[in-house]
Amino acid sequence: MEKRQILEMAKEYVCPGKIDTFGQVGIELVIGKREGPYIYNIERQRFIDLHINGGTFNLGHCHPELTKVLVSALENTDIGNHHFASEARALLAQKLAEKTPGDLHYTVFASSGSEAVDIAIKTARWATQRRQIVSLDKGYHGSTGISGNVGNNQNMDYFLSRGSNKDYVQVSFNDLSQMEKILSKKETAAVIIETIPATVGFPLPEDGYLKGVRELCNRYGALYIADEVQTGLGRTGNLWAVTTFDVIPDILVTGKGLSGGIYPIAATIISKKWGGWLSENGFGHVSTFGGAEPGCHVASRVLDICSDPVLLDAVKKNAAILGQGFANLKSQYPFLMEVRQCGLVIGLKYDDPLGAVTMCKALYENGIWAMIAGFDYSAMQCKPWLYLDQALINDILERFERALKLCATQMSKR
Ligand SMILES: Cc1ncc(COP(=O)(O)O)c(C=O)c1O
């Protein structure tokens, strides 16, 4: 089919609003071939994927080894029956328990990050017998019922899902005194925090902030839920970003990249101490597709790859080189105002309230797909795949420089 026809059908039958929003900034991407760090539009034009769907393609598009794992799993299994024990699911859960910090132990499988966040919150409410969930005011944790009510919850009222006003409370990032004011009332079941919040362009936690939140949770009887859907799986140079900040959560949520980009799977890993409902009520959360067996085979290999010290060292080394390159660009182009970085979690803030929109378009015209931060249009998420090398770093930086020059010209004409 031709691009125009696909866009029109998608607009008619899928989501008119999305097609219109991208169309308004001149982005009409219909993805065709995809391979490694690249996506191609159906006219075969290549783009370096720096959004990678929030980490879904951490290991690249159509990873050959993971594809083989999936194909071979499909020769012997289907999705399986979620009510019964399965070898693939048990082995993956054991691996997750081994590769997560502290006494994180039980895994409840889900088919999306949103569902996994729902499970985390249900667990915290059961464990504490409290309802209130505290999150960052501009965070994002998903779009299902419960997950959609935490973080920036504009959709909560839009879809009429607000309960009591006290159930979902938002606080500002890096503000421990605001956090303490709320937690000290001892009504909070859990604090949910994305270790480095994507939707505001990856601002970094200040020294001691996440550890401080952990201590406040301990003091006032709330659980700490680490949302590692985007930041986990090797991106910071450690398997999990929370451990980079020396925090052991009570519950850890992973998704996106766990799928290897080829089979949807997400997981909520719960500490032994708080997972009692799994013994008491085996049917407390039922998910037909959660932990589908082909996905478990893929995810198990993903975990091995992402925890390989050779890969993690390369992530750290290449992140430093790329970071230096962005710092050089920042010194030459004041439009690039701030470079935030923790490993290959990179946020770029521009000197204009709509700077990331302008830059996103300029990068698109220069063969890079990078996404605006959803709740701050001056900031952009920049997440290359984990197998970065010098040639790709050079290519990325050259294209950024061209795009920055283009923006500088556009800005000067305003
Ligand atoms: C930090 C974070 N948590 C949770 C989710 C929800 O994941 P999913 O889209 O798989 O439901 C997302 C999705 O973008 C996310 O970025």
Tell me: pLDDT of 131 over 90: yes
CA distance 37 to 97: 30
Helix (H, G, I), strand (E, B) or coil at 375: coil
Count the alpha carbons within 13 Å of 301 in the hemisphere toward its beta carbon.
21
Neighbours of 258 (CB within 10 A): 32
Distance from the CA of 193 to the center of ligand 1, in angstroms?
A: 12
Ligand 1 lined by 255 (C-beta under 6 Å): yes
The percentage of residues in the chain with a pLDDT greater than 70, rounded to a whole number, is 100
Beta strands in 272-399 (DSSP E): 336-342, 345-350, 368-369, 371-373, 376-382
∠ CA 194-297-49, rounded to 5°: 50
* Neighbouring C-beta atoms of residue 389, cutoff 10 Å: 12
228 CB near ligand 1 (under 6 Å)? no
Q: Write down the H helix ranges in 307-389.
A: 309-332, 355-365
Model confidence band, residue 330 (pLDDT cutoffs 50, 70, 90): very high
The lowest-confidence range among 148-152, 191-195, 202-206, 352-356 is 148-152
Run of H or E including 104: strand 104-110
37-51, 157-171, 204-218, 315-329: least confidently modelled range: 157-171
The residue behind tokens 């949103």 is 114
Q: Tell me the pLDDT of the chain averaged across its residues.
A: 96
| Sign of CA pseudo-dihedral 213, 218, 220, 222 | positive
pLDDT the model gives residue 410: 81
Residue nearest to atom 8 of ligand 1 (CA): 113
CA distance 42 to 10: 15
Index of the ligand 1 atom closest to the CA of residue 55: 16
CA distance 152 to 157: 11
Ligand 1 and 141: CB distance under 6 A:
yes
Structure letter (DSSP) for residue 62: T
For ligand 1, whether the C-beta of 151 sits within 6 Å is no
Q: State the virtual CA torsion across 359, 364, 368, 369 in degrees, nearest 10.
A: 90
Above 80 in pLDDT, residue 164? no
CB of 198 within 6 A of ligand 1: the answer is yes
Residues 111, 158, 121, CA angle at the centre, nearest 5°?
Answer: 40
Q: Is the pLDDT of residue 12 over 90?
A: yes
What does DSSP assign to residue 255?
Answer: -
Q: For ligand 1, pick from 230, 258, 259 the residue to mutate: most ligand atoms within 8 Å of CB.
A: 230
pLDDT 10s digits, 190-223? 999 999 999 999 999 999 999 999 999 999 999 9
Cα-to-centroid distance, 114 and ligand 1 (Å): 6
Establish whether residue 112 lines the binding site of ligand 1, counting it when its CB lies within 6 angstroms of any ligand atom: yes
The model's pLDDT over 262-302, given as tens digits with 9 standing for 90+, comes to 999 999 999 999 999 999 999 999 999 999 999 999 999 99
pLDDT of res. 156: 84
**What number does the ligand 1 atom closest to the CA of 231 have?**
1
* 144 close to 266: Cβ distance less than 8 angstroms: no
Which of 304, 325, 347 minimizes the C-alpha distance to 398?
Answer: 325
Residue 398 C-alpha to ligand 1 middle, in angstroms? 31
Q: How far is the CA of 229 from the centre of ligand 1 (A)?
A: 6
118 lines ligand 1 (CB under 6 A): no
Residues 6+ apart with CB under 8 A from 410: 358, 362
Determine contact, residues 258/265, Cβ cutoff 8 Å. yes
Q: Separation of 299 CA from ligand 1 center, angstroms?
A: 17
pLDDT at site 145: 86
Residues 108-125: what's their mean pLDDT? 98
Nearest to 253 by CA among 373, 121, 385: 121
Type of residue at 80? G
Secondary structure (3-state) at 399: helix
Centroid of ligand 1 to alpha carbon of 31 (angstroms): 21
Residues in the chain: 414
pLDDT for 125 beyond 80: yes
**CB-ligand 1 contact for 54 (6 Å cutoff):** yes
Q: Report d(CA 226, CA 211) in Å as an integer.
A: 12
pLDDT in tens, 165-192: 789 999 999 999 999 999 999 999 999 9
Spacing, Cα 333 to ligand 1 middle (Å): 33
Q: Answer whether 326 contacts ligand 1 (Cβ < 6 A).
A: no
Torsion of CA 121, 126, 128, 133, to 10 degrees: 20
Q: Whose alpha carbon is nearest atom 7 of ligand 1?
A: 113
| Atom of ligand 1 minimally distant from the CA of 197 | 1
CA of 268 to the centre of ligand 1 (A): 13
Say if ligand 1 is within 6 A of residue 200 CB. no
The reply to whether ligand 1 has any atom less than 6 angstroms from the CB of 60 is no
Q: Whose CA is nearest to atom 15 of ligand 1?
A: 141
CA distance 386 to 274: 33
Say whether 251 sits in a helix, a strand or coil: strand
